[in-house]
Structure 1
Amino acid sequence: MIPVELVGVRVEVPANTPMVLLREQEGRHRLLPIYIGSPEASAIHYALEGIEPPRPFTHDLFLTTIDELGAALDKVVVTEIRDRTFYAEIHLTTDAGPLVISSRPSDAIALAVRCGAELFAGDELLDEHGQEPPEEPEEDAAEIIDEFKDFLENVDPEDFV
């Protein structure tokens, strides 16, 4: 298992499809995009923004149920992809011992965001489907603009002869 962090919820253009983006916390910082449904995207977004609905969402209700049963959500693991479908596990600690529940990644992530549980991805999953992050530009745009302004202020027409 590799620790990952939730970068955020995005909408893929032009298909207008919501997705969550997970990033490997250490090492190569590979990215794992997972397409999800609109209701789950909203649930994750609301939790990230700290928006409390007037009535509990399904994920809030499930966390309340876990708590009332004396259990705790320890971690979420995105385990694999089969037939272009991602799978995840919700790891709980209960009085009877550890319990693992199969889940859609979007629902598991929505729960983890609400209670601060750690996120993980399977080693093989990241090895096979993780994407290398885009290379960072060597200089940021402000530095390039400053250099160009300096050039324009000091240029002499004779420099082009």
Structure 2
Amino acid sequence: MKPSLEVPLEIEMQIRGLMMDPVTNMPIVVLKDVASDMILPIWVGVFEANAIALELEKSSTPRPMTHDLLKNLAQGLNARVQKIVVSELREDTFYALIWMEQAGEIIALDARPSDAIALALRWDCPIYVHRDVIANTRQLSDGAQSVNTEELRRWLENLNDDDMGQYKM
């Protein structure tokens, strides 16, 4: 049997960190390819960043937060989140799919990447980014209008663990 030379359509990522954009003061989830140094920054909302930060820090709340409720609901319906995929980049907006299994049936649910990532952390399931998203992100950063994006990407790639710090609300 010959080894497959096919390039996978999805790249497995891990959360490298959660930080504040120094320019816009908006939270950024930094995803890193598990097999290389390639990173993908995704700007997220404050509430979603808080949900991600709570799970990264393994902090508990007195009552279930929305993403905890969604996990509890899925478990109550005997469903399981298998993986999440940042599946598309359209007009500077990222899109994601949450892949779930219930009773042998696989379904994909449309989601914001921030919500999908918050759920992935709670389910301890893999995070993927579609290869086309990476290619489209690179095309955007290669354009002359995106000098700031490329500078930010270089800055993010050169951060060490101390630089990432803790996300603070």
Do residues 71 (structure 1) and 90 (structure 2) align? Answer: no
Q: How far apart are 1:74 and its partner, in Å?
A: 0.5
| Aligned pairs (5 A) from 1:136-147 | none
Say whether the 8 Å CA contact 1:4–1:121 is kept in structure 2. Answer: yes
Call closer, same or farther: CA 1:32–1:134 in 2, change over 3 Å: closer
Cα distance in 1 between the residues matched to 2:56 and 2:18 = 9
Aligned to 1:32: 40
Q: How far apart are 1:108 and its partner, in Å?
A: 0.3
Alignment match of 1:83 (pick from 91, 111, 125): 91
Cα distance in 1 between the residues matched to 2:56 and 2:112 = 19
Cα distance in 2 between the residues matched to 1:26 and 1:128 = 20
Aligned to 2:164: none
Tell me the amino acid that sits aligned with residue 69 of structure 2. L
Do residues 11 (structure 1) and 20 (structure 2) align? Answer: yes
Q: How far apart are 1:103 and its partner, in Å?
A: 0.2
Cα distance in 1 between the residues matched to 2:16 and 2:117 = 12
Say whether the 8 Å CA contact 1:76–1:119 is kept in structure 2. Answer: yes
Larger radius of gyration: 1
Cα distance in 2 between the residues matched to 1:68 and 1:105 = 24
Partner SS state of residue 81, structure 1: strand
Partner SS state of residue 35, structure 2: coil
Q: Deviations over 1:19-58 (max 9, x none)?
A: 101011114x211101100000000000000001000000
Tell me the amino acid that sits aligned with residue 24 of structure 2. A
Aligned residue-pair number = 135
Q: Which ranges in structure 2 are unaligned for 5 or more consecutive residues?
A: 1-9, 139-152, 160-169
Alignment match of 1:52 (pick from 21, 45, 60): 60
Alignment match of 2:103 (pick from 88, 91, 95): 95
Partner SS state of residue 7, structure 1: strand
Cα distance in 1 between the residues matched to 2:158 and 2:111 = 33
TM-score if structure 2 supplies the norm length? Answer: 0.75
Q: How far apart are 1:9 and its partner, in Å?
A: 1.1
Partner SS state of residue 32, structure 2: strand
What RMSD, in angstroms, separates the aligned Cα atoms of the two structures? Answer: 1.6
Q: Deviations over 1:47-74 (max 9, x none)?
A: 0000010000000000000000000000
Say whether the 8 Å CA contact 1:74–1:91 is kept in structure 2. Answer: yes
Q: Which ranges in structure 1 are unaligned for 5 or more consecutive residues?
A: 137-161
Alignment match of 2:51 (pick from 21, 43, 50): 43
